[in-house]
Amino acid sequence: MPKLDFDIITLGHGSGGILTNKLLEAGVFDLLSNPLLDTHHDGALLNLTGRVAFTTDSYVISPVFFPGGNIGELAVNGTVNDLAMCGAIPKYLSLGFILEEGLTMAEFWDILVSIKGASERAGVQIVTGDTKVVERGKGDKIFINTSGIGELHPRADISIKNVRAGDKVIVSGNIATHGMAIMSVREGLEFETTLTSDTAPLNHAVLALLDEFGNDIHLLRDPTRGGVATVLNEIARDRNVGATRLGIDLKQAAIPVLDEVAGACELLGLDPLYVANEGVFLAIVAPEAADAFVRKLRTLDYGHSAAIIGEVVTEHPGQVVLTSRIGGRRVVNMLVGEQLPRIC
């Protein structure tokens, strides 16, 4: 951390004057330096070719530091993953801070360092941004907004319209880990093992899968807020139109969940299917490619626990139906209300 003549964020750091420039020059610009950001212009001028994906997201997680990461790393990974789910190769991010008066520079610096590390791991550049400061008590240390741009992979054809009966539903890893890690520190719960967030950049794994399987990958989604159940319900709802109306069958025994996460969910009366994830994606894949897809995914970073967990079916259109470990069947509805607020 550079030597500064202030230890905390004040309203003056959002004024656009000397304090703002000190904050940006000594912190943001030096740490995140790249040729596009170094112009210090009102925006970034980009060279892009072909089809482009664009996404935006905001992060209000509480607490801002949690086992396995912090809000800065989460913001980069989340936006990178949104682009990857579109079948795009992430290139550039914007970074907007809303800082609360009283945030310590030590905390802000830790978040900036995490942003730098996450950007490097994902292979993206921060090229433009903004910083605002609100009065003490009108924020919660820091909120972050990120937008991302990426170039579409030449073999990507990711669309809900491509989902068809017989497609396999694949999850890339253990579910519910992020949400339960946040809940454990927020509620002061003590477990025998420390639950750690799964926040991670998934773009490199998705790129390798697109290289090999191309348009056999019909749809990609990251099950963040609302978890796996909500995302699959959205897919079933959106395919419950037209001549071919589809639903989804799930197999409970096939869904990977860490034992400590399953135990924490049981203790708190939560269903892992509804708990947020930050390092997991769902793929709807052509049946003839599904087994090879899973084998490949298990060789890639963050995909070692990948599994086929269900199938797209013509029965019960618009619904997700789970077969339990003992053979019972129940409808898995979309999440009602907010199970875990401010999870990302």
Instruction: Output phi, psi for 50, to 5 deg.
Output: 70, -160
Tokens for 121, please give them.
């791991």
Q: What is the pLDDT of residue 305?
A: 98
More confidently predicted of 301 and 2 = 301
pLDDT digits (tens, 9 = 90+) for 319-334: 999 999 999 999 999 9
Average pLDDT over every residue of 58-63: 95
Q: Which domains does the chain have, with CATH numbers?
A: 11-152 (3.30.1330.10), 160-332 (3.90.650.10)
Q: What is the pLDDT of residue 190?
A: 66
Q: What is the pLDDT of residue 192?
A: 65
C-alpha distances out from residue 155 to 30, 185, 211, Å = 37, 42, 7
pLDDT digits (tens, 9 = 90+) for 173-186: 999 999 999 988 87
Given a contact cutoff of 8 angstroms between Cβ atoms, the answer to whether 252 and 273 are in contact is no
Q: What is the 3-state secondary structure (H, E, C) of 185-227?
A: HHCCCCCCCCCCCCCCCCHHHHHHHHHHHHHHEEEEECCCCCH
Write down the residue that tokens 């482009």 correspond to.
52
Q: What is the pLDDT of residue 344?
A: 87
Nearest to 155 by CA among 239, 218, 91: 218
Burial environment of residue 31 by CB neighbours within 10 A (0 to 12, 13 to 18, 19 or more)? middle
Most confident of 36-40, 92-96, 195-199: 92-96
Question: What's the rounded Cα separation, in Å, for the pair 268 and 101?
Answer: 35
Question: What's the rounded Cα separation, in Å, for the pair 69 and 337?
Answer: 26
Write down the residue that tokens 């420039």 correspond to.
21
Q: What is the pLDDT of residue 3?
A: 76
Given a contact cutoff of 8 angstroms between Cβ atoms, the answer to whether 236 and 246 are in contact is yes
